[in-house]
Structure 1
């Protein structure tokens, strides 16, 4: 007996309905990317390992899927390396390529390789799948799409303001009101580390801090202690991790705490600009909130950090995030090119829209009209009419075989087709067609030459 097929954990098949809902999100995101002036690019699904490794910190590097070299790769490994059984030594010898972990580092590589063809500042959007060897759970998959928008070649904070507006525009259009755009700044985190005496342990400090909502204050403290951050330093920073009050009040407290840190003060100054600008412009449905614990765990951020939380009451992680990376292209040899970008978490947004029942009902209707098949002559006549309907932009089809009417109408119901057309022998003789409204059961007869009336009904 053949073994039942399966798919890898953390991956999914998508039904026609699911694809329709995903495309609905894609279309809205793309629409706003374009209206904000972003241009599309695409990059390969896999990159040279050296392009990706070392760009995401130790935790990120461990989640990168490596691709084995083709051929008899193991024979090329020397005996000493092979017998050591150390993956860190063996992997570079048997794997030269890896699936992309995100779209930002490949984008930086793209900018460096195509710098002479690009007009700066360059605003690009990219919607493609990425892969992470993460533990699958609700809203977290090993293969998923990212929808990114980035600007490189401009260091103005107006870019951050526009990205906040872009988030707000997309989520408003999706009907997803009540989202919170959390905002922090990497300079503030660096300033805190400096003030508490943990300047040389910034990475471990931010990686642990980013887990506050997952493992709690005690868990963060334990991880920081294990990474060599002193208890005195942790206690000194602790009051900041439960800041309350308005954005302005929190920034005032941060400004006082970071007064001795030039970098930290600069971070506060940048957040003040963004907060004030958004307050003057106003958002449609989202809110902007300072969150000093927001770190996002990626080492390449240098300025503002964004993360979008789903509406209150929806149990879901972040549905978007991003930040400024002032020298990401520098890792590939192109210095002093500032960049800032955000990402939309398609899969999580999908789950949130599903939970809140925000998808339009018509998404399930992939077909507007189905012609019943009574036989070869009637089917050929139907195909001629189908051609005219399709030319008018109407999704129409004919049942492929002259099966029992009950079976054909059941098919129409399962596909949620709103109108069914019947052309039997009598209708064919009189050059008429009968249109049945599947919702209320009403039937209307049209002549073949009155197809414009049916088209008006379907487009109305």
Structure 2
């Protein structure tokens, strides 16, 4: 007996229902991106390893899926190299390409390669899969989608404002209640400066970013472990635990960071973003959260994270301002700001809260029962009119037993069935059955279309 087929660990098949739900997510996000003037690009699934390597740190580099060269790649390798069993060195000899790890580095490469064709500021979005050779576990996959939007070539804080409006609009359309958290890397740098630990900014931000997950005592223990003095940790406590309205937090920060030029710049930027958004009538809460640090160290200004309020789950959207996206490819000074929606986590939230609209997940709206050649030919005429009216419809391809055809309609959650026999054909009509109520009516093609609409 043939072995049962399987798929690689950390990947998934998606059923028709799941695909309908995923497309609802992608289409909603895509529509909102278009609403704000973003244009779609796509980049190849595989990039040159020279593009990808060294951009994600040592740990990230280890998670890159490398693609074996075609042809006789062993011809360039010596017996000594083969016998050394040095995996990293050998891979560099016969792997020149790899699957993309994220959409940001390929985007930076795209901007540099196409700089003469791009009009700046460049507002792009990308909805594509990425791959990471991570250890698969619940909620973490080796293949998953990212839904990124970035504006590059502009320092204006209006870009940050619009990205927050996009976030608010997307989650309002999904009917997911969220809290949009905002902070600024300059504020974090200012805090490190005034507590006398400027050189430990990365250690401080990495630790306080874990406050929600591990609690204050463990954050303090981690700070101490990283060599931060007890005096500095004590100074940090009222800042980490800062409470009140956004305006009250900003007022306190102005006093606390009075001696830090970079810190005050971060407060000023945050104040502009929050005050502008206040006039925009956002439907979701926006909160200045000083514990928000974002793991990636390339953010230089505003940083964002979105939490769902009605479901226990990690961040479902994140992003921020970066100053030198393209510098690694020799094009310095291109500032940008971007966000990324976590499609897989949004999928889980919508499932848990049962928020998918029926029309988004239902496929076929009308099934014509097939009683034979003559009846099918008559039904095809009505079917053409129905489809021309934009109604998703199909005919059962075989003249099978009625029970089998009705079971097919039930299995696919088709809400209406059209029955056409000799009596219906003689009147030039069809019997329309509502599968939910069981109600049946003899109708013309025009009445059938009106009833389903």
Q: TM-score scaled by structure 2?
A: 0.93
- Equivalent of 1:365 in 357, 362, 367: 362
Query: Who is 2:20 aligned against?
Result: 20
Match of 1:181 in 2: 180
Please tell me whether the aligned partners of residues 429 and 445 of structure 2 are also in contact (alpha carbons under 8 angstroms).
no
- Contact kept, 8 Å, 1:55 with 1:300, in 2: the verdict is no
- 1:387-402 to structure 2, matched below 5 A, reads 387-402=384-399
The corresponding residue for 1:97 is: 97
Taking only aligned residues, the RMSD between alpha carbons, in angstroms, comes to 2.3
SS in 2 for 1:328: coil
Alpha-carbon offset, residue 451 of structure 1: 1.4
Match of 1:253?
252
Counterpart of 2:349 (choices 326, 349, 352) is: 352
Matched residue, 1:443: 440
- TM-aligned CA deviation for residue 218 of structure 1: 4.5
- Look up the SS of the partner of 2:300 in the other structure: coil
Where do 1:229-240 residues align within 5 Å? 229-240=228-239
SS in 1 for 2:319: strand
Matched-pair contact (CA < 8 Å) for 2:302–2:321: yes
In the TM superposition, residue 70 of structure 1 has moved relative to its aligned partner by: 3.1
1:383 and 1:344, CA in 2 relative to 1: closer, same or farther beyond 3 A? same
Q: 1:228 and 1:87, CA in 2 relative to 1: closer, same or farther beyond 3 A? A: farther
1:62 to 1:214, Cα distance in 2 relative to 1, 3 A: farther
Partner residue of 1:324 out of 321, 325, 330:
321
Aligned positions of 1:158-173 closer than 5 A:
158-173=158-173
Return the match for 1:301 from 299, 302, 307.
299
What is the alpha-carbon distance in structure 2 between the residues aligned to residue 129 and residue 55 of structure 1?
18
More displaced 10-residue stretch of structure 1: 300-309 or 325-334 = 325-334
CA distance in structure 1 between the aligned counterparts of 2:56 and 2:291, rounded to whole angstroms? 19
Q: Displacement, 1:335?
A: 1.7
Report the Cα distance in structure 2 between the residues aligned to 1:193 and 1:82, rounded to whole angstroms. 49
Q: What is the alpha-carbon distance in structure 1 between the residues aligned to residue 110 and residue 127 of structure 2? A: 15
Write out aligned runs for 1:63-102 (5 A). 63-73=63-73, 76-78=76-78, 88-102=88-102
Question: In the alignment, is residue 4 of structure 1 matched against residue 32 of structure 2?
Answer: no
Alpha-carbon contact 2:430-2:445 (below 8 Å) kept: no
Matches within 5 A, 1:123-202: 123-177=123-177, 179-202=178-201
- Give yes or no for contact 2:150–2:336 (8 Å, CA) kept in 1: yes
Gaps of 5+ in 2: none
Return closer, same or farther for 1:96/1:191 CA change in 2, 3 Å cut-off: farther
Q: Indicate how the Cα distance of structure 1 residues 94 and 119 shifts in structure 2: closer, same or farther if over 3 A, else same.
A: same
2:448 to 430, 433, 454: 454
